[in-house]
A and B are shown apart, each in its own frame.
Chain A
Amino acid sequence: GNSVTQMEGPVTLSEEAFLTINCTYTATGYPSLFWYVQYPGEGLQLLLKATKADDKGSNKGFEATYRKETTSFHLEKGSVQVSDSAVYFCALSLHGSSNTGKLIFGQGTTLQVKP
């Protein structure tokens, strides 16, 4: 079946450290891939996305590259800030009209950044 697997958290980093959150997927066909972020007490916001192989999504210093050969979409940031503390979700959606509006999520990874 279709699924998303993320590295388990929580991840605790010091400010300005390098961040990697691993995400791998299993899907029929070639999905679109997303990273969503959830700040404490809030809903999910789209952080970045990629719709085809080798695409790189980027936003707010975060980036992720769609790797078809390794079925991965790892999230990276060169220098994290305290304000990046949140829960990060990797997700996929399958193409086709019957799949529109449906996202398959990973478990979520909690990031805590300490000053």
Chain B
Amino acid sequence: NAGVTQTPKFQVLKTGQSMTLQCAQDMNHEYMSWYRQDPGMGLRLIHYSVGAGITDQGEVPNGYNVSRSTTEDFPLRLLSAAPSQTSVYFCASTSGRLDADTQYFGPGTRLTVL
């Protein structure tokens, strides 16, 4: 199993550009999440999904869109990038079963918005 994969690893954008961060998992997990990591703030939840076709907002959703058309994939879209979105983005998944609430994280995407 590859686990949780993310692409790209690094990205530089100009203000106003759009892009999609890709996330995929091969563990048949129902639950997937996107977090952003900023210095001194830990990780904060952007959006999450409890299954294909179902998404919801986390703590910091503004400026980001998500969709979940398949169990495996959970892309994160930045419609109009802003410097405040410079961060490291992590995708995570979990089966959500009782006593199996461990989240598995991807390697991250480091995004810089100029």
Which residues of A does B touch, CB under 8 Å? 4, 32, 34, 36, 42-46, 49, 51, 89, 91, 93, 97, 100-108
Contact = CB atoms under 8 A, between A and B. Distances in A.
A93 B92 CA distance: 14
A85 to B, nearest CB: 18
Main secondary structure of the interface of A (DSSP, over half): strand
Contacts of A49: 102
Given A93-B101, A100-B101, A43 B108 contact: yes
A97 B104 CA distance: 18
Main secondary structure of the interface of B (DSSP, over half): strand
A101 B105 contact: no
B2 interface: no
Contact of A105 (B42, B48, B102): B42
B32 A101 contact: yes
B101 A32 contact: yes
B107 interface: yes
Contacts of B41: 107
Interface of B: 4, 31-33, 35, 40-45, 48-50, 58, 90, 92, 94, 96, 99, 101-108
Contact of B58 (A89, A102, A107): A102
A104 B58 CA distance: 11
Contact of B103 (A4, A46, A97, A106): A46
Contacts of A106: 42
The 4 closest A-B CB pairs, nearest first, are: A101-B31, A105-B42, A43-B105, A100-B96
A49 B103 CA distance: 11
Given A100-B50, A101-B50, A102-B48, A44 B96 contact: no
A101 B40 contact: no
Nearest to B94: A101
Nearest to B51: A101
Given A43-B90, A46-B102, A102 B45 contact: yes
Nearest to A36: B105
A97 B106 CA distance: 23
Contacts of B108: 42-43
